[in-house]
Chains A and B, each alone.
Chain A
Amino acid sequence: MINFKKAAAIGLLSMATFMSLNSIKPVSAETEVEGINDPTIAPYFESMKGKKIGYVPFSMSYDLSKGWLAGMQIQAKELGYEIIVRDPNWNTDVGVQAMDQLINAKPDIIVLQNPDLQSYAKLLKRGTEAGIKFISVNIKSAYPSYYIGEEWQLNGMAEAQYIVDKCGKDSGRSGKVAIVQGILTSAASAYQIRGVTEVFSKHPEIQVVSNQSANWDAGKAQEITRTVLQQHPDLCGVIGFWDGMDIGAGSAVKEANMQDKVFVVSSGGGYKEAACDRLEDGTYSAYFSYDVRGQAQDINTVIRILLQTNPAPDAFKFTLPTRGVMLTKDNIKPGSCWTMDDFK
């Protein structure tokens, strides 16, 4: 008798547990056929649909800005929001005008590349007060915004460390290094040189024999590097601050047939023709890549977060530094660099 009662109790209990596992109410015949509607999906899509995202890079004519946009457009198409592109074509004044007009049009978010720390700061303040969210890519602003991109100082440190490893103590080399900077007033160049000097200050065996600006110009970089090579045939390393310019420095070394003795390190967004192809043909011995694919992914993620949460302007700010990778001829794989096809 007791045994029967016990069995009945256990049976009831397990039934209750089963029912509670199935969201308490008994499973209706309808749900069994059609499944359950996830209540979070519709609001997610709802929060994206018909929104407007502005995009103001330095210029639409170079690998980084094209890659970012291509990545952003994939998600925009998927989620049904619009991207408005303004192309300042390297001109800060045009950029200020474009930003000004965009802010008046009141998009939900503006993804931008600051020309420097200051130029857009006032505009960012005005836009933020009007409720627009700003995502800065690769160059920060004096006025806080959400930041995604390269940490230039760390980039400089990584390049300098590479050169120290190759040319420093116990390397049996001269330790002579040339630095080819970009435009001296640009934040990217200024932060990078800081990173470089920080590392070199701990390595007195490294001797900087030339520290010049080539103005982001490949021809100028080539001229400087040629002259430095001529003056210091035992040069061990060249540090460059951007692939578009450093190709001149690398060409000068290659032309002198010294690519086995002089280590040229460059950095950039990892576009195949600018990076992997140049590592393979010996223009660079190393390339610090802040992969544009990853940055585009980060931009997309932040867009989704901001559109869903719509935070108050002063709620929080954050930076998402890009994880850089030092590429060399020996560690590149087919997927190490990107082409526009990656975004199709």
Chain B
Amino acid sequence: MPLLRSLAHLLTELRRTLLAERVTVQFPFAPAELPAEFRGRVILTDEALCKGCGLCVRDCPALALELERQDREHFRLIHYRDRCAYCGQCADSCPSHAIVLSNELVSPSQERDTLTQVLVEHAPDSTG
């Protein structure tokens, strides 16, 4: 009888589910296990590598990067975490592999200012 066959399918699956582990990941009460390739927070590997060429700014689809240049050596690279789409194009476009995406989660915030980070600062007075 088809009714019994259908019950057999589902009852087997019900039993398997009952005996297996819960599927729910109880984040944030349990740690979130993120793979190494997860595209998370945008960071600089080494500030010295960044030449301020602006390729990352040009290729960012979300317009989340901004470069303020005063002159050849003095510039500031700002990243707006709330605009960022975490696509990784900046990391792909950077010729010196200075900017990368780590696999940390970016926490939300209610203060807009905490979501703006200055990635690189080469200010006039710091180089003397």
Please say whether chains A and B are actual partners in one complex: no
